[in-house]
Amino acid sequence: MDKSKKIGVLLGGSSTERAVSLRSGAALVAAYQRLGYSVIPIDTHSGRALPGILLEQGIDVAVIALHGPLGEDGTVQGLLEVMGIPYSGSGVTASALCMNKALSKRLLHSAGIATPAWEAVQMTVGQPVESLSRLIDTWAGKSLFVKPSSAGSSVGIRRVGEPSELATAMVAASEAAAQPGETADILLEQEMLGTEVTLAILDGEPLPMIEIRPAEGFYDYLNKYTPGRTHYLVPTESLSAQEIQSAVETGLAAGRLLGCRGLHRVDMIVDRAGCAWVLEINTIPGLTETSLAPRAAAAAGLTFDALAERILAGATRE
């Protein structure tokens, strides 16, 4: 990338993942400064003012470090397309598809890529949960996760092991996804038992797979972003070479199916039979000190600065 070009790192935003985005963005800004690029951090919380800021600052290329709605869902990507500014990561279509967990799971299922059983439901934030008895009957005897359909960073996710826990979990997911009085899209997903892994993919090539072992509980927001609460194994220790290869192929196929590009990450569970089940695809993985993609890059011999430069080099338009 020509170092005379002005880079805008888009960070912050207004989603519930703002805090994580600020950390990811700050890490990228520091890396580009070390590399000698002209870089400006731009907080997209400015909303309607964003196009004017991009023009005023003379941004030539955008590196997107946004997580969650209004940043990772194709909206900012669409704006950059209209403005003719190349940007990092996946395009409008792939970003929108992957942000919507229910829709992406439908596409994965239709393509024969294993993904846990799920049900998409809607509820109005602040109002009593409706049709709870039907949901309890449908999911009777199964442990499940309840989460916002369009959010990441494990925001609003709850594990439900007993019917009595379902209403509380749905309320938590809805409040994380929407404002009072608004309709929230919620995903109920069957819990899969097995080894939790993640596969970061950079420019179509897999980075070393990481096995995720929380010290306690599941891989929620606290375990994800608190140093020391989760053990990360690279290479994985619980899977055979054949199981690893199969999971890598599944992850690559999922990314190709949804049209991902640049740096993206596929989260999976490998069951006891060796089948890899795709949970979700993250088109803008976190780049904090506890994040998975930089850890995978390091295992492949890439420093954080080298990873940041690869992300920048892949900036383009759809």
Active site residue 267: yes
Please answer whether residues 158 and 166 qualify as being in contact, where contact means their C-beta atoms are separated by less than 8 angstroms.
no
By C-alpha distance, which of 106, 109, 103, 114 is closest to 269?
Answer: 114
3-state secondary structure of 73: coil
DSSP string, 245-309: HHHHHHHHHHHHHHT--SEEEEEEEE-TTS-EEEEEEESS---STT-HHHHHHHHTT--HHHHHH
Active site residue 17: yes
Distance CA 177, CA 64 (A): 21
Active site residue 46: no
DSSP string, 76-101: HHHHHHHHT--BSS--HHHHHHHH-H
Which one of the listed residues 100, 286, 291, 314 is annotated catalytic? 286
Distance CA 97, CA 101 (A): 8
DSSP string, 164-188: GGHHHHHHHHHHHHS-TTSEEEEEE
Which one of the listed residues 12, 89, 267, 291 is annotated catalytic? 267
Q: Is residue 28 exposed (0-12), middle (13-18) or buried (19+ Cβ within 10 Å)?
A: buried
Which one of the listed residues 89, 220, 280, 314 is annotated catalytic? 280
Quote the radius of gyration of the chain (alpha carbons, Å). 19
Active site residue 282: yes
Which one of the listed residues 74, 225, 251, 291 is annotated catalytic? 225
By C-alpha distance, which of 111, 114, 75 is closest to 91?
Answer: 75
Which one of the listed residues 18, 23, 261, 265 is annotated catalytic? 265
Active site residue 204: no
Which one of the listed residues 15, 88, 90, 153 is annotated catalytic? 153
Active site residue 289: no
CB atoms within 10 A of CB 123: 21
The catalytic residues are: 17, 153, 225, 265, 267, 280, 282, 286
